[in-house]
Amino acid sequence: MLSKVITIAQQKGGTGKTTLAVHLALAFIKYHSLKLAIIDTDPQGSLGKWFVIRSDKKLPNDNLTFKTASLWGAQYESKTLKNDHDIIIIDTPPKIESDARPSIEAADLVLIPMAASHVDFWATGAIVDIAKKANKKILIQINRANQRSKLISKTNDFIRSLNISSTKTIIGHRQIYASSMGEGKTAVEKQKKSKAVEEIKKLSEQILIELK
Ligand SMILES: Nc1ncnc2c1ncn2[C@@H]1O[C@H](COP(=O)(O)OP(=O)(O)OP(=O)(O)O)[C@@H](O)[C@H]1O
Ligand SMILES: [Mg+2]
């Protein structure tokens, strides 16, 4: 068992925390044959809704455990899940600030999604500070990007200014990420070969290297 915890956190709402949580989970299962657990700590319950649709449709959940917990509860829950799971992904709500601490404390890696936009830069410092104080490995994930946008290089400058790293894989703005989730699925189950599948697979490979 790998027994590693990834906490996906970002102060700003709608940056793609839940989308990344499910896509990474399914990529780890599909491409790396790992046993996954996902914990929804968000009262909005989007992750839970996705899992319910998935279960109602009897889609395969053989290597996927779903739990809900409070931000505090996730710390305990993830410790227990480590006994029989390779990776535990904690999806957190927006606007958590200091409440984020227990779920950050539980993490081996804190993944912070953000768009290539100044509004997202302004929101990102707070969660980076909390993760740095907890001495955690931090990776920024650029999400919903237009690869040709001039803002990508500005975003990379911003990430460097925080003295942290980003993943090498930029996730594009692609409809399949949203539409697949509405069916209780992910892009990697809907498509065999596509840009979305390629980038999520690459991202799962890189994150696995960071965790080992
Ligand atoms: N790469 C992407 N391409 C296209 N749409 C995306 C992408 N990532 C996320 N989305 C869409 O953006 C919206 C917000 O995504 P998501 O719910 O994953 O963000 P979140 O950070 O979990 O939000 P919250 O802070 O409310 O929990 C959703 O409609 C989702 O389908
Ligand atoms: Mg969410």
Question: pLDDT per residue over 54-85, tens digit each?
Answer: 999 999 999 999 999 999 999 999 999 999 99
19, 96, 112, 119: which to mutate for ligand 1, most atoms within 8 A of CB?
19
* Mean of all residue pLDDT scores within the chain: 96
Give the ligand at the shortest distance from the Cα of 112.
1
Residue with CA nearest ligand 1 atom 15: 16
- Expressed as residue numbers, the domain containing 127 is 4-211
Provide the residue type at 87 as one letter. Answer: I
Smallest Cα–Cα separation from 8: which of 143, 146, 199? 143
Specify the residue with its C-alpha closest to ligand 1, atom 3: 173
Expressed in angstroms and rounded, the spacing between residue 90 Cα and the centre of ligand 2 is 11
Looking up residue 163, the CATH number of its domain turns out to be 3.40.50.300
Of the candidates 88, 90, 37, the residue with the CA atom closest to the CA atom of residue 62: 37
Angle between helices 17-32 and 46-56 (to 10 degrees): 40
Both structure tokens of 90? 């904690």
User: What is residue 52's predicted lDDT score, i.e. its pLDDT?
Assistant: 97
Count of domains forming the chain: 1
Is the pTM higher than 0.95? The answer reads: yes
- Residues 11-24 have pLDDT tens digits of 999 999 999 999 99
- The binding-site residues of ligand 1, defined as CB within 6 angstroms of any ligand atom, are 13-19, 42, 44, 46, 93-94, 143-144, 171, 173-174, 177-178
pLDDT tens digits, residue range 167-186? 999 999 999 999 999 999 99
- Ligand 1 centre from 18 Cα, in Å? 7
Atom of ligand 1 nearest to the CA of 173: 3
